[in-house]
Amino acid sequence: MSSFVSRGAVLASARLLNQALALLSPLLLVRLLDIVDYGRYRQFMALAILITSLGGFALAANLTYLLARSPERAAADVTKTCALMFVVALVSALVVVLGRHWLVPAEIADSWRLLALYVFMFLNLEVVVPYWLAQRRSVEVMQYTLLVTAWRLATLLGAALYFHELEMIFVVIVCAETLKNLAIYLWLRRRGLLVFRWQHEVMREHVRLVAPLGLGSILNKANDFGRVVVGSVMGPVPLALYTTAAYQVPLVNIVQTSLSDVIFPDMVQRARRNPAEGLLLWKRAQMMVAAVIIPAWLLLSYFAEPLIRILFTAQYVSAAPYFQVFMLMMVRQCFQFSTLLRAVEDNASFATSNAVALAINAALTIALMPHYGLWGPTLGLVVGQYWTGWYLARRVMTRYHVPLAEIYQWRKFFMSLLASVVALAGLHVTLDWLRDIPGGVAVSLAVFAAIYVAAARFILREEYGYVLRAFTRRRAAT
């Protein structure tokens, strides 16, 4: 397990740095653009993110599974995935072109061509990360993701500084995606991973496996329709506030998906022998994720208003209550039951759960938004995602033939929650006592960390050993 922790730590570090770089764009753009232009930029990106998320069809996730299961046919699987990506990219771009009068907000209506091109370029050739994840090469994933994020950030901010015109910013980010795709194409051809040879059986298997997973991914991503609805119905300023609230800061997906992505290839191989082995590995990994997410959730919720004031300026402080509700999504991320089901080829449950979640989300948004504004899409997304957690937990119990008590390390989870609450109480008392003293916040955070680490040392004794051995191994290797 410590080897998984070591590789997961590398991947998590990469994604933390990646997110830190990505967060620079809104932090700097809110200072380079006025709130209306920034809202228009968020309209463009919100629609692009929604369409690319839907159009991605979980092809990258399916490729990780196929490469972990059958590494000897990597070239065939990568080639067929690239072919499918081209098809979904073309369809997604056509959706923008044909549906521009209904999809594209009036404020950016003249930019629909650039939006279609951006969607097409963004969705193509996204196979590098799943290829390296299946090969358990976290360092290469770190290097690649940081390089891509730095490239996107540099081109975006360079365009904003040089042109000071929103339309030219859109042109530059489209060109940046095009050049990135050209570099990936040359890399794949040089390694022999992209071959122009048709294999009907391989393609048929790809479609069979990815169809339910892709449908579930579409329904899952469609749950984020709130950004588009807010931008279209309420305008750019409410969208800027909603986007700020929904950032959820890095730890939500970073820590969770990093360790999950690292262990998933091994879960696939173990599940083929005995599903119980994969379940045991998943439970250990999830508890380590929870040990990080729970204290982070409490801290971010407690400091929501000053964080937003510092990071996004005082104009965005009214987003704080929505930000705190979105933080509940962090707790939901402690229970990624879909990974367990994917390991045993149960992708249909993922699709079913997200279909119901989408209905819940839409119902709450429609019912609450006219009278309560941003609370509609906020509560709709959170409630819907908690439903998926409950449903997928039931499916895991059925597929793995285990009771509720055995699908998670519940005692450790609640003890970690209690330790975090006690640590937060210590932070609050210390901060109240040192409120007028410089460095009081730093001292209070140190008190929080000391209390939680001391408690976690005993509550999570086994997990502590994994982390310590992983750290020792990496230091010795260095």
Q: DSSP readout, 130-152?
A: HHHHHTT-HHHHHHHHHHHHHHH
CA 89/CA 134 separation, integer angstroms: 24
Q: What is the Cβ-side half-sphere exposure of residue 111, based on CA atoms within 13 angstroms?
A: 25
Helix axes 275-302, 304-312, angle to 10 degrees: 80
Most confident of 263-267, 286-290, 391-395, 436-440: 391-395
pLDDT-derived band of residue 13, with 50, 70 and 90 as boundaries? low
* pLDDT tens track for 201-211: 778 877 887 88
| Total-model pTM | 0.71
Q: Among 148-157, 193-202, 266-275, which is the least confidently predicted range? A: 266-275
Find the radius of gyration of the CA atoms of the chain: 23
Cβ-based neighbours of 180, under 8 Å, separated by 6 or more = 121, 148, 151
C-beta pairs of 27-32 under 8 Å, 24+ apart in sequence: 27/311, 27/312, 28/157, 28/160, 29/156, 29/157, 29/160, 30/312, 30/313, 30/315, 30/316, 31/313, 32/157, 32/160, 32/161, 32/164
* Other Cβ atoms closer than 10 A to 29: 17
Contact 356, 279 (CB under 8 A): no
CB 398, CB 386: distance < 8 Å? no
Give me the pLDDT at residue 250, please: 44
Going along 155-258, which residue ranges are E strands? Answer: none
Q: Is the pLDDT of residue 252 over 60?
A: no
Q: What per-residue confidence (pLDDT) applies to 142?
A: 78
Give the other-Cβ count within 10 Å of 111's Cβ. Answer: 22
Residue 60 confidence (pLDDT) above 60 = yes
The tokens describing 388, both together, are: 């998926």
**Residue 249 pLDDT:** 46
The residue that leads in pLDDT, 449 or 215, is: 449
* 388 pLDDT above the threshold of 70: yes
Give alpha helix (H) positions in 274-405: 275-302, 304-312, 320-326, 328-332, 337-343, 348-372, 375-400
- Specify the 3-state DSSP secondary structure of 322: helix
Contacts of 242 (CB under 8 A, 6+ apart): 226, 227, 230, 319, 322, 374, 377, 378
The pLDDT of residue 1 is 47
